[in-house]
C-alpha cells in the first residue's frame, strides 16, 4: 500500500446502518431476530465520527473520501448521507449471501472492497450500536496487515503517521501509528456535521459502486451465529419510598439499601 505521499490522503470511511438509539427493539416471537417494522434506520453514531474525521482530514490535506458499507438495499440511504456530508464516492456491498454475516465475514468483505483502493487511512466506528461487537475494525486491519488504534478521541496527521489519543480505564494514551492504519472512532473525536441542502443535491450525482460477493471474490461463511434472540429479563416492580420529608425518605432508602438489598 502507498504511504509515501503526504498530500492527497486516500481515506476510507466504513459505515453501518443501524436502528436509531430511540428505537424500541422487539424480538420476533420465534427468537430468530428482531422485528424490523417501524424502525428508523440511521448511520451508526460512532461511524459518523469516523466520516467527520475523514472529511476534516481531506479538507486539511487534500485527498478523497470513499465511504464503504455492507448491507441490504436500504443501506444506500446511509451511503448517500455520508456523500451528502462531503464524501466523494461510495461502495455498497450488497448480497443476500452476506445477510447475517458475522464480524469476520463482514471484515473480509470490507477488506476485499478496500484493498484495491490502497488507502492511507481507514475509519470505522469503535462499535456498531446494534450488535455491540466492536470487532470489525480490528479484523479489517488484520486482514489488510496494517495496524489499528481503537477508541480514538483525538487525531493528528503528519509525516506518514498519525498521533492519536485512546482512552482506557483510568488513563489516556498518546499513540503513534504508521500509515496505512485503521482508526476506530469514539465519541469525543469531533462533532459530526449535518448534510447541507446543496450537499444532499450533489450526493445524488456522486458515484456508488454496488458489488456482490462474487465480484469481491468472497465465499461467505458464518462462524459466529446468534442462535436465539431474547428480550431482556423483566425486572420486578420497584419500591417507592413514600413520605413528605426528603430527609426521612433518604434515611429510609439508605436503610433499605443496607438491610434489604444488602448492597452498601
Partner 1 sequence: MANGVWIVAEQRDGVLRKISFEIASAARKLADELGQEVCAVLCGSGIEGIAGQLGKYGVDKVFVADDPALEPYTTDAHAAAVAKIVKEKDPAILLLGASTQGRDLSARLVGKLATGMGTDCVDAKLVDGKLLLKRPMYAGKCFGEVMISSFPQMGTLRPNVFPAVENQKAGEAVKFDPALDAGKLRTKVLEVQKDASGKVDLTEANIIVSGGRGMKGPENYVIIEELAAVLGATVGASRAAVDAGWRPQTDQVGQTGKIVSPNLYIACGISGAIQHLAGMSSSKVIVAINKDAEAPIFARADYGIVDDLFKVVPELAKACKELLA
Site string for partner 1, 100-129 (x = CB under 8 A): --xxx--x-------------------x-x
Asked if 151 is part of the footprint of partner 1 (rule: CB under 8 A), the reply reads yes
* Pairwise CA distance, residues 67 & 90, whole Å: 5
* Pairwise CA distance, residues 257 & 241, whole Å: 12
In contact, 164 and 149? CB cutoff 8 Å: yes
Stretch that binds partner 1, among 16-24, 63-71, 91-99, 212-220 (CB under 8 A): 16-24
Asked if 40 is part of the footprint of partner 1 (rule: CB under 8 A), the reply reads no
Number of residues that bind partner 1 (CB under 8 A): 85
Q: Which of 73, 96, 158, 263 binds partner 1 (CB under 8 A)?
A: 263
Site for partner 1 in 60-89 (CB under 8 A): none
Nearer to partner 1, 203 or 218 (CB): 218
Q: Which of 11, 17, 42, 46 binds partner 1 (CB under 8 A)?
A: 46
Asked if 204 is part of the footprint of partner 1 (rule: CB under 8 A), the reply reads no
Dihedral sign for Cα atoms in the order 179, 182, 185, 186: negative
Q: Which of 4, 7, 24, 219 binds partner 1 (CB under 8 A)?
A: 24
Q: Which three cell numbers stand for residue 41?
A: 434506520
Element (H, E) at 167: strand 161-168
Nearer to partner 1, 72 or 188 (CB): 188
In contact, 57 and 9? CB cutoff 8 Å: yes
- The pair phi, psi for residue 192, each rounded to 5°, is -60, 140
In contact, 134 and 106? CB cutoff 8 Å: no
Task: In angstroms, give the least distance from the CB of 220 to partner 1.
Answer: 13
Amino acid at each position: 500500500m502507498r504511504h509515501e505521499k503526504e498530500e492527497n490522503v486516500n481515506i476510507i470511511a466504513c459505515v453501518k446502518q443501524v436502528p436509531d438509539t430511540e428505537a424500541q427493539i422487539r424480538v420476533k416471537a420465534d427468537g430468530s431476530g428482531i422485528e424490523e417494522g417501524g424502525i428508523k434506520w440511521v448511520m451508526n453514531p460512532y461511524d459518523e465520527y469516523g466520516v467527520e474525521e475523514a472529511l476534516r482530514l481531506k479538507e486539511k490535506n487534500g485527498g478523497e473520501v470513499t465511504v464503504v458499507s455492507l448491507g441490504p438495499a436500504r443501506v444506500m440511504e446511509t451511503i448517500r448521507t455520508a456523500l451528502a456530508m462531503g464524501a466523494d464516492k461510495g461502495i455498497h456491498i450488497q448480497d443476500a449471501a452476506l445477510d447475517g454475516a458475522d464480524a469476520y465475514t463482514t471484515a473480509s468483505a470490507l477488506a476485499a472492497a478496500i484493498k484495491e483502493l490502497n488507502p492511507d487511512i481507514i475509519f470505522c466506528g469503535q462499535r456498531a450500536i446494534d450488535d455491540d461487537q466492536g470487532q470489525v475494525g480490528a479484523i479489517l486491519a488484520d486482514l489488510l496487515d496494517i495496524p489499528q488504534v481503537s477508541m480514538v478521541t483525538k487525531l493528528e496527521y503528519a509525516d506518514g503517521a498519525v498521533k492519536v489519543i485512546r482512552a482506557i480505564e483510568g488513563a489516556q494514551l498518546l499513540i503513534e501509528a504508521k500509515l496505512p492504519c485503521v482508526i476506530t472512532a469514539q465519541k469525543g473525536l469531533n462533532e459530526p456535521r449535518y448534510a447541507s441542502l446543496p450537499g444532499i443535491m450533489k450526493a445524488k450525482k456522486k458515484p456508488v459502486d454496488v458489488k456482490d460477493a462474487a465480484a469481491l471474490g468472497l465465499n461467505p461463511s458464518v462462524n459466529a451465529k446468534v442462535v436465539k434472540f431474547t428480550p431482556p429479563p423483566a425486572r420486578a416492580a420497584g419500591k417507592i419510598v413514600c413520605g413528605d420529608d426528603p430527609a426521612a425518605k433518604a434515611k429510609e432508602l439508605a436503610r433499605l439499601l443496607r438491610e434489604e438489598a444488602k448492597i452498601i
